[in-house]
Amino acid sequence: MNDKRGFEFLEHTADAYVAAYGKDLAEAFENAAYAMFEVMTDTKKVIPSIEDHVEVEASDEYALLYNWLEALLVKFDVDGILFSKFRVSIGSTAESFSLRARIWGEKFDSTRHLQKVGVKAITYHRMEIIKNPAHVTLKFILDI
């Protein structure tokens, strides 16, 4: 595990297989988002100068992870903004889960941002949420 970034890329033949870690579910979701943008570019070069917000809901935590990453991917596709900083809050009721996040980034600039591979979609394939008392691990595949 790369403790500094809170995620690592796992072996997969065609897509990006990610394990994201956190002390709790919210931090693991933050690191999952960071990992997704790292697939696309060198996130260390993305200046968090533009602030935005994301709110998603879902019937379970798996759908919440899917909806979170998909909302970020749509923001990138529509607005051309790469994100590199995330502050996530997760809530739940008996019927649903909700996520609110403040996110920061900047417009994609081909002169400064390395263009790695494009993420086409988030998948449920091999998605896992592993909760232990001291940490949470999220595993998911990004279709590239």
CB neighbour list of residue 101: distance below 8 Å, 6 or more residues apart = 29, 30, 53, 54, 55, 68, 86, 87, 88, 89
Specify the residue for token string 């091999």: 126
Q: Which two tokens stand for residue 45?
A: 């070069």
Please report, for the domain that includes residue 16, its CATH number.
3.55.10.10
Successive 10-residue mean pLDDT values, the chain, 144 residues: 68 85 98 97 97 98 98 97 98 96 97 94 96 96 95
Residue 87 lies in a domain: yes
* pLDDT at position 4: 55
Residue 2 lies in a domain: no
Total structural domains within the chain = 1
Residue 58 lies in a domain: yes
* pLDDT at position 73: 98
**pTM for this model (two decimals):** 0.92
* pLDDT at position 106: 98
* pLDDT at position 72: 98
Q: How far is CA 140 from the centre of its chain?
A: 10
Q: Strand 16-22 relative to strand 50-58: parallel, antiparallel, unpaired?
A: unpaired
* pLDDT at position 37: 98
* pLDDT at position 3: 42
